[in-house]
């Protein structure tokens, strides 16, 4: 069935995919406007402090995670060796190997979501250190920190699951090497992402609210627009072949990805509620989930 969805039909599905995505975006924006999510609903203490660790520990953890993101993405962009991948060429409509070097490597959703994680930790880290110094945390930080956290975690779960349960196996089935997915920075972005955010959920006093539901999807739609621009006007490739909006099953695939992002938000919210009720149980569940969805060893190497 998936092979059928991934092929091209008699008519390109671009207009259908665009209309579906636009409708989803408008629905998400309407939800945001009506949810009150852009107004402060949590206190400075909830955003900036932790009932588990001290401000110094929490602030250091958040800043260290943000620094890790900057180092990782800088390495990806500046490494002169670059990396190989197998994108879908836009005009030719076929997968081909390529060598990619430089900042263009940051075009993948993996890097986009990791940058979002860095912003999340940077903003919440600033909140902690402002509070620790006796200052008043700006309202925009109080409003944005829980939104950034919940969107980051939902996107991280999506990235890790898609890599572990689709991209690796799909590449191996097509006879492509997957060693490029197991460089140290790829392992960090595909696996440490969910591990760090799992730790953050356990030590955060922020609440994941239903009002934040639409933000992961809006971020995903933003990437969809970028992927189309990147393929049409910049590089001539879709980094992920399933992102080609012209394919027969593109509307279904796009809807499924947006549904997954929304579903993973509910996973994050559920984990947050469990942590509020029983922290040790939440730690066990988060550890088990993180281990189950992560892939840190190249399966082609045995």
Local confidence band at 227 (pLDDT 50, 70, 90 cut-offs)? very high
**pLDDT score at 127:** 98
Query: If you ran DSSP here, which 8-state letter would residue 249 be given?
Result: T
To which H or E segment does residue 293 belong? helix 279-293
Model confidence at 178: pLDDT above 90: no
pTM over 0.85: yes
Give the residue extent of every domain in the chain: 13-32+42-294
| Residue 156 CA: distances (Å) to CA of 114, 118, 140, 141, 161 | 8, 12, 23, 21, 8
Model confidence at 253: pLDDT above 90: yes
**Segment among 30-34, 66-70, 80-84, 256-260 with least mean pLDDT:** 80-84
d(CA 264, CA 197): 13
Structure tokens at 67: 């620094």
**pLDDT score at 302:** 54
3-state secondary structure (DSSP) of residue 95: strand
pLDDT in tens, 86-142: 999 999 999 999 999 999 999 999 999 999 999 999 999 999 999 999 999 999 999
Cβ atoms of 273 and 150 closer than 8 Å? no
């Amino acid at each position: 069935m998936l092979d059928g969805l991934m092929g091209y039909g008699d008519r390109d599905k671009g207009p259908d995919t665009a209309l579906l995505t636009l409708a989803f975006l408008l629905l998400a924006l309407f939800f945001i406007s009506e949810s009150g999510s852009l107004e402060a609903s949590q206190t400075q203490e909830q955003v900036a402090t932790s009932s588990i660790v001290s401000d110094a520990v929490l602030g250091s953890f958040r800043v260290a995670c943000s620094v890790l993101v900057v180092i990782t993405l800088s390495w990806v962009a500046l490494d002169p060796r670059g990396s190989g991948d197998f994108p879908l060429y836009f005009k030719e409509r076929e997968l081909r190997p390529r060598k990619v070097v430089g900042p263009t490597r940051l075009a993948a959703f993996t890097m986009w979501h990791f940058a979002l994680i860095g912003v999340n930790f940077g903003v919440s880290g600033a909140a902690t250190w402002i509070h620790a110094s006796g200052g008043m945390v700006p309202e925009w930080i109080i409003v944005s920190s829980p939104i950034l956290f919940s969107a980051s975690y939902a996107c991280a779960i999506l990235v890790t699951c898609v890599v572990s349960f689709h991209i690796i196996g799909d590449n191996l089935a097509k006879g492509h090497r997957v060693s490029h997915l197991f460089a140290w920075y790829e392992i960090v972005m595909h696996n440490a992402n969910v591990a760090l955010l799992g730790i953050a959920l356990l030590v955060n006093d922020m609440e994941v609210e239903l009002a934040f539901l639409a933000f992961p999807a809006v971020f995903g739609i933003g990437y969809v627009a970028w992927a189309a621009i990147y393929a049409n006007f910049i590089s001539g490739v879709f980094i992920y072949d399933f992102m080609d909006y012209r394919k027969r099953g593109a509307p279904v695939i796009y809807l499924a990805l947006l549904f997954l992002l929304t579903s993973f938000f509910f996973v994050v919210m559920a984990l947050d509620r469990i942590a509020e009720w029983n922290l040790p149980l939440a730690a066990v569940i988060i550890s088990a989930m993180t281990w189950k969805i992560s892939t840190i060893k190249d399966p082609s190497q045995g």
